[in-house]
Structure 1
Amino acid sequence: MSNLLENYFQLKEHGTDVKTEIIAGIVTFMTVAYIIVVNPAILQAAGIPFGASMVATILSAVFGTLIMGVYAKKPLAIAPYMGENAFVAYTVVGVLGYSWQTALGAVFISGVLFTILTISGLRGRMIDAVPDNLKYSFAAGLGLFITFIGLVNAGIVSLGVEGAPLHVGALNTIPVGLALFGFLLISALMIKKVKGSILIGIIVTSILGFVSGVAQTPEQIISMPPSIAPVFLQLDITGALTWGFFAVILTMFTMDLMDTMGTLVGVSLKAGFMDEYGHLHDMDKPFLADALATVFGALAGTTTAGTYIESAAGIEEGGRTGLTAVVVALLFTLGLFFYPVFSVIPAAATSPALMIVGLLMMGSIKKIDMDDFTEMIPSMAVIILMSFTYNLGVGLCAGFVLFPLLKLISGKSSEVKPIAWGLFVLCSMFFIFYPY
């Protein structure tokens, strides 16, 4: 069996082995497992039943991540996106007043559009049109964003007051102290070059969380999953095919495009998948995986799915092939029955892993040309706005708008590829029609 896995996923060619890939898959899953309960909790605000939504969340993650592992052979996890779920729950349904069924119809349409773009090869050409400095900013921006998410989830950073929106958290509390311990433990293990340091840190911190009472032990270990019937095939495609819904579909489309593009470029740089020309071979395969996952997710009853930036945690542990993704998919499958256990893994245990991985990804900022303002300003806008708006799409679109504009102003428009101008138009429309 081990030899079959090695041959199919070409482990030796990537300098890895079955054990390393399994550990990487476990680490990635533990950093994304929160989505099992967080996604349905958010969508509950839109009126989507929690239990059915949870099953739809898991099934879409299993479907997309298996395609990513078996077909695209990349160590990346796919699940419903954070941000897109909140957009549906709080904006499309909460503010604009549409039904969640119509919102899922829009998700389905955007997924179909992505599938068409991917099959045509246009999505891959979009990546090739991105200048190197912006690619480096994607990785650095994702790193800052992941670190910021970890800091917020751990309680190290909290909401402030008007005029000072962020504030240091309560560092004298047990949960925050536990997260800081986890951060120091993983840091020490990595300095000592201990294999599986991130996984060890998550497990040890989780145990301490249960012992200290920061996290409650699950009342039951195994449970049959709820019925998916209330959300399965309940999307309203016809209702979404109206002019009034154009802005919603455009926003979903652009957010998914930018999130996936940024994530794939960022984690690919970290994993060493990019060649010396900044190209990622077989880019269409992972793109197709997330496009099909979005289509499937809408049918199952959940929001836009795509590649997760937390996949960088498994890559940091040595995951380099699709076997890592297959392990993640299998663990998500177990989540259907063991969700009472996965749902109580404390944020204090997973947040340190995100903080560490984010810091490591920020290293690509040193590759950005800081002496050329037409390169530096768009790149830094991407990095800063990704985190300060808590929205990958906003940061990436800012870069795609600023880059051609500044090149045009400086008389260097010849450095802008035609597709980059297309992205400029798309991102400009995103900012114009976004339902703020």
Structure 2
Amino acid sequence: MKRYFGFATHGTTWRTEIMAGVATFLTMAYIIVVNPAILEAAGLPREASITATILSAAFGTLIMGVYARRPFAIAPYMGENAFIVFTVVKGLGFPWQTALGAIFLAGALFTLLTLLGVRRWLAAGIPANLKHSFTVGIGLFLTFIGLNAMGVVQLGVPGSPVALGALNRATTLVAIGGFFATAVLLARKHRSALLLGIIITSVLSFGAGITPLPAGIASAPPSLAPLFGQLDIAGALTLKALPVVVIVFVMAFVDTIGTLIGLGARAGLLDASGNLPDMEKPMLADAVVNMAAPVFGTTTCGAFVESAVGIEAGGRTGVTAIVVAVLFLASLFFAPLFTAIPAHATGVAIASMGVLMLGAMAALDFADYTEWVPAFLTIVLMAFTYNIGVGMTAGLLAYPVLKVGTGRATEVPAAMWWLAAMSLLFYAVYPYH
């Protein structure tokens, strides 16, 4: 295997890695504006949140690229940020400083368990069928996100929670055209199909006057002072806050395992046993950033499923992640330019990625219901609850239940009992509405 500056090439090239990094960044750049907009509802200043979001993403992704040498980008998790804002702060009444303290404690626990090898042992103990279901579930999850961003699917009404979008809307029509252009490129085996899909859709939107051109190119980064170091660790150590720490820990723990396995499978980086070699390295990158992110002033971070877009563009090494990190840092000064990419354009790439990842269904065992039912729950609940962690915990909990119920308890790996117990604890302390 060739190496460039210490990086195993995995049959790729510098040009491919750079293009893959650009594709990943363009697909996930929305987090720069969306994450602060969500956190503002909990009282976090939006301008400072923009800087905190960018620095956390750049820091974590750089560690992933330089240390773990994987093509996975890291940024604040969607879903976890909404949980912190609407459940922990607005629902349970905790100050946002205490919520950030809970995230720091979860990150410290992640780091300890990773250094002890516990997280790798647990990940290796997940049965192959469930690992395949993570890939499929993430694919369906991405499909739903993409179709919603394109305007093809929209929120419905009570009794019919989703509905067909307005297909006569200009943005939706352009997005549909971009999707089919991307599909043609995929069918022609074009490696940059997803990146070109974003570009084609964006150019059509700008050219037709549907999306306004960026108001500017460069701007000074907002001050981080209102958020930096404001976390309240002491407040998170109270008995009252313990359920919050547990939920944050379990959600991020299972999200990371599922995302790394799903992305690793798509990149062809898994070994014969379905495990990601040296998995403790990307896990440690994830753990460390979850201690840094709340210090910067933002919520739980982890490997982003949108990294799949860069992987499909050919990204196989840490160079892809380094490119993403550099682009995040550049966005501190060029945010108006990077955030001008319309949501329906990135939605095209995200939905197209779902097309590719759902192909992992071919590896699922449909004949054995003790294998298929946990996989089924994982897949559908990831999408229907809009939460990767909920889908994973459902599958991890259902697996031993089905095996015990059919007299096949000996087939359950030791690690699965611990994962099932963790999943049960997650549902026991979850603050249901």
User: TM (normalized to structure 2)?
Assistant: 0.98
Deviation at 1:214, TM superposition (A): 2.6
Give the unaligned 5+ runs of structure 1.
Answer: none
Alignment partner, residue 276 of structure 1: 272
Q: Quick one: distance in 1 between partners of 2:190 and 2:358?
A: 22
CA RMSD of aligned residues (A): 1.1
Partner-residue secondary structure (3-state), 1:320: coil
Alignment partner, residue 6 of structure 2: 8
Q: Quick one: distance in 2 between partners of 1:227 and 1:353?
A: 32
Deviation at 1:195, TM superposition (A): 3.6
Alignment pair present for 1:223 and 2:219: yes
Alignment pair present for 1:353 and 2:349: yes
1:174-213 matches, within 5 Å, as 174-213=170-209
Code of the residue aligned with 2:324 in structure 1: it is: V
Q: Quick one: distance in 1 between partners of 2:256 and 2:416?
A: 17
Alignment partner, residue 41 of structure 2: 45
Q: Quick one: distance in 1 between partners of 2:275 and 2:73?
A: 21
Is this contact kept in 1: 2:24–2:310, CA < 8 A?
Answer: yes
Is this contact kept in 2: 1:209–1:348, CA < 8 A?
Answer: no
Alignment partner, residue 60 of structure 2: 64
Give the alignment partner of residue 322 of structure 1, picking from 303, 318, 325.
318
Deviation at 1:192, TM superposition (A): 2.0
Q: Quick one: distance in 2 between partners of 1:400 and 1:8?
A: 37
Identity, in percent, stands at 52
Is this contact kept in 2: 1:215–1:346, CA < 8 A?
Answer: yes
1:20-419 matches, within 5 Å, as 20-419=16-415
Q: Quick one: distance in 1 between partners of 2:209 and 2:250?
A: 42
Q: Quick one: distance in 2 between partners of 1:5 and 1:418?
A: 38
Q: Quick one: distance in 1 between partners of 2:189 and 2:79?
A: 35
Deviation at 1:114, TM superposition (A): 0.3
Code of the residue aligned with 1:313 in structure 2: it is: V
Deviation at 1:165, TM superposition (A): 1.1
* Aligned residue-pair number: 431
Q: Quick one: distance in 2 between partners of 1:5 and 1:217?
A: 41
Q: Quick one: distance in 1 between partners of 2:131 and 2:11?
A: 25
Is this contact kept in 1: 2:191–2:314, CA < 8 A?
Answer: no
Code of the residue aligned with 2:86 in structure 1: it is: Y
Is this contact kept in 1: 2:24–2:306, CA < 8 A?
Answer: yes
Deviates more, 1:161-170 or 1:63-72: 161-170
Q: Quick one: distance in 1 between partners of 2:192 and 2:167?
A: 27
Moved over 4 A (4+): none
Partner-residue secondary structure (3-state), 1:243: coil
Code of the residue aligned with 2:238 in structure 1: it is: T
Deviation at 1:33, TM superposition (A): 0.4
Give the unaligned 5+ runs of structure 2.
Answer: none
Partner-residue secondary structure (3-state), 2:162: strand
Code of the residue aligned with 2:25 in structure 1: it is: F
Partner-residue secondary structure (3-state), 1:268: helix
Partner-residue secondary structure (3-state), 2:4: helix
Q: Quick one: distance in 2 between partners of 1:51 and 1:161?
A: 34
Partner-residue secondary structure (3-state), 1:167: strand
Code of the residue aligned with 1:108 in structure 2: it is: F
Deviation at 1:370, TM superposition (A): 0.7
Q: Quick one: distance in 2 between partners of 1:220 and 1:164?
A: 41
